[in-house]
Homo-oligomer: A and B are copies of this chain.
Amino acid sequence: MKTATEYLWFNTKRHREYINITGKIEEIVAGSAIGEGMVLVSAMHITAGVYVNDAEDGLIADIDEWLEGLAPFRQDYRHHRTGESNGDAHLKSLVIHHEVIVPITGGKLDLGPWQQVYYAEFDGQRRKRVVVKVMGE
């Protein structure tokens, strides 16, 4: 069994941002020379997420608005007594989930025609990381 591990760094300009990282995952998988297996793509922060969906700007704006509805910014989260102000970002991360596993078949990401891997930043403008771990042979 072979593994390959790399880290992607992000420092978004905006507080919330959605970044298509499919091309970067494809490069890491190609570099690993693993033909059959899986790649784990996992945010290393608790106010960010990783998900698979469509690369369509209108939908991304819908997702952002919808997440703000489900897990809104509020002043009065208990978490803010620690001095933080990002309670909503933790909850948005829980909805979206912080990781995906993508199958690798014939050396390529085995995604459907519209599936793209996204990094979702919910508390940006600082350096944050995603771990990408390829396993297989």
Contacts and interface: CB of A to CB of B under 8 A. Distances in A.
Interface of A: 1, 3, 5, 36-38, 40, 42-46, 51-54, 56-59, 61-63, 66, 70-71, 77-82, 87, 90-91, 93-103, 105, 110-115, 129, 131, 133, 135-137
Contacts of A98: 52, 100
Query: Which 9 residue pairs are nearest across A and B when measured between Cβ atoms?
Result: A44-B112, A58-B78, A59-B79, A103-B133, A3-B36, A1-B1, A58-B79, A46-B53, A62-B77
Taking the full assembly, how many copies of this chain does it contain? 3
B36 A46 contact: no
Contact of A59 (B40, B51, B90, B97): B90
A44 B102 CA distance: 10
A136 B57 CA distance: 38
